[in-house]
Chain A
Amino acid sequence: MTEHVDPSVPPAVSADVSEPPASRPPQGEGPSQETLAGFAQSWWQGVKAGELGSLPIIVGLVAIVIVFGILDDTFLTERNFTNLLLQMAAIATIAIGVVFVLLIGEIDLSVAFVSAVGGVVMTLLLRPDDPGWPWWLAILVALGITTAIGFVQALVITKAGVPSFVVTLAGLLIWSGVVLILTTQASSIGTIRIQDDTVVRIANDFLSETAGWILGAVAVLAYALAQLNTARQRRASGLYGKPLSLIVLQIAGLALVTFAAVWYCNQDRGVPYAIVILLVFLVFWSFIAARTRFGRHVYAVGGSAEASRRAGINVDRVRIAVFMISGFMAGVGGIMLASRLRSVATNTGGGQLLLLVIAAAVIGGTSLFGGVGRVVSALLGALVIGSITNGMDLLGLASGTKFVITGLVLLGAVLIDAFAKRRRTARGVV
């Protein structure tokens, strides 16, 4: 962990370090990135070479909104917008953990039932006098248990060398069984109501109008400061950075989206607490993934486990931590789901939850091949999944039709990923 003062640079070279060469944009055919036009040009070159980023998903989202907006009058209403946010919050939350798992090139099929275990454990602990724990303790214990489940599954994956697909498939069965056992034992009808107001409010209450605006402003301000700080540091080190105009444009874009969303929510009941919780985790995990050593190692393990191992990264430890993140975020999502329904039941965590969560991560742009993707893709993907489901519900489509359409969207997303990967690989074999 010691930080070396770069020893390989002989004095003769360091003498001219202060001169421009290090700071000049690289020579060659690539356009200069210091102007907005240059940046746009190099971004477009990246897109053509398969570095799609969030482009397909944003195009897709806009298309979905237009289509359902035309097909159904209620789709674009404030009420429905807020409902949509509430519906997708848990999916996005669980999908954050799945993004991490996909980033290291593994899969976690157990997340849906692990989330159910979290919801059920919390609900059981909240039963008055039996044991009647305070809400925060019940939540902490539930999250502790789901995190521990991730840890145990990761131990089997790393120490026994069993593929994560198989281990978490076994986990899927085991934890669905555990949910069934716990719920049927606790209640003859198999449904247990959440008897705590605070927990129910998580997914059923809203920020006041003012609080919503303040939160939006704080978020935009924090983003702006972080962006400007990065740019300042890069300039201070003599490195070229993003053009200022682009930074301003990005901040303005984020501010527009944020304030529009807050305004629209405020037309209805306000910004849902669940969304605030989701955004806090989204920012936190994005920071971990993009800005910390651990996050870098997650990407490295996904890109090449062998290279990571030789670089001295404890690959098993990264894998274990990632599955613990997955378990933890599943727990958070499970608590949101339970809170939203104000109860847990024998079928909690079942149905399409697992598929929707993994679909959200993949549709959001996280590669199934490992090493490529961003935490925010969990939110983007969940928005797509949530909008489609919501829109089709409004149109009153038959279940069968809904499954087929959701499946086709997932297939489309995976195909885009596969083609983008092919473009990237083709460029790699210059």
Chain B
Amino acid sequence: MTENSALLECRNVSKAFGAVQALYKVDFEVYRGEVMALVGDNGAGKSTLIKSIAGIYPFDEGEVYFEGAYVDIHGPRDAAKYGIEVVYQDLALADNLDVVANMFLGRERTRTGVVLDESSMESASRQTLNSLSVTTLQSVRQRVAGLSGGQRQAVAVAKSVMWDSKLVILDEPTAALGVAQTRQVLDLVRRLAEQDLGVVIVSHNLHDVFECADRITVLRLGQRVALLERAKTNQQEVVHAITAGTLDHVPGMETAGAGADG
């Protein structure tokens, strides 16, 4: 693994659901310490791309490289093994459990292999929340049901970095949040990158994207139509790519685009 190789690299990945070509020969890469925004209109393939990276359903074609090595991700477990964590839009928190239980859900620590090690999990949860400067939580023993939207997002993000995470994928993290809470979450996203993690943020909100992203990948109709650096682009250019980016391949005519290569 060399310093300048991508943390995650998807080459020519495709995915179809029946007759619908959700992704067609997409290239996508993320580096350590970078926030990569993934934008596109509804149905552009954003969700399909991140779900396939997360192992929810495998790509039909194409290769995925993680830390420079070819990887075969067949389920969420595989993804977690490599250090890929996804924070979904609906956060996937169990409302009836407290913050600690949620942060360790599915990976509980035990003493002697049987009994839950509550105190060690509680300490570790506090440490992680502190390291991300999440200060709004009153108690880590609060049930998640009682948290605000921003607090829930913070818990979900903190949960994703508790493990040997190298890549954190956030699906619409600021949707449904107020102004102040959006601010907190975007700060949190930057802190993840500062901790040298690779971060992918899927968003509809270009304002948020320009606040926190380093680079922007634009998908349109299942293809990558633009890869932009935030510092060298503007919202107009991104909007143009989202709505009218040039397609290498016309949907429904597979053979026509077969030779195209990113």
Contact = CB atoms under 8 A, between A and B. Distances in A.
Does chain A bind chain B?
yes
B179 interface: no
A8 B161 contact: yes
24 contacts: A8-B131, A8-B162, A13-B130, A22-B123, A22-B126, A26-B140, A28-B138, A29-B138, A233-B118, A237-B123, A291-B115, A292-B114, A293-B116, A299-B97, A300-B94, A306-B90, A306-B92, A307-B91, A308-B106, A310-B86, A310-B92, A312-B107, A428-B95, A430-B148
Contacts of A308: 94, 105-106
A239 B124 contact: no
A314 to B, nearest CB: 9
B21 to A, nearest CB: 26
A424 B145 contact: yes
B135 to A, nearest CB: 9
A27 B140 CA distance: 12
Interface in B135-194: 137-140, 143, 145-148, 161-165
A307 B92 contact: yes
Contacts of B102: 307
Interface of B: 76-77, 80, 86, 88, 90-97, 101-102, 105-110, 114-116, 118-120, 122-124, 126-128, 130-131, 137-140, 143, 145-148, 161-165, 195
Nearest to B151: A430
Contacts of B145: 424-425, 427-428
A230 B119 CA distance: 9
Interface of A: 3-4, 6-10, 13-14, 17, 21-22, 25-30, 49, 230, 233-234, 236-239, 291-293, 296-297, 299-300, 302-304, 306-308, 310-313, 370-372, 424-425, 427-428, 430
Contacts of A4: 107, 162-164
B92 to A, nearest CB: 4
A312 B106 contact: yes
Contacts of A304: 92-95
A183 B114 CA distance: 42
A371 B115 contact: no
B193 to A, nearest CB: 13
Interface centre among B86, B106, B110, B163 (most CB of A within 10 A): B106
Given A303-B94, A427-B145, A310 B127 contact: no
Contact of B146 (A21, A293, A428): A428
B96 A303 contact: yes
A299 B106 CA distance: 12
The 7 closest A-B pairs by CB, nearest first: A311-B106, A303-B94, A371-B96, A303-B96, A237-B119, A428-B145, A311-B105
B165 A8 contact: yes
Contacts of A17: 123, 127
Given A9-B128, A14-B127, A234-B119, A302 B105 contact: no
Given A291-B116, A312-B76, A430-B146, A300 B105 contact: yes
Contacts of A371: 94-97
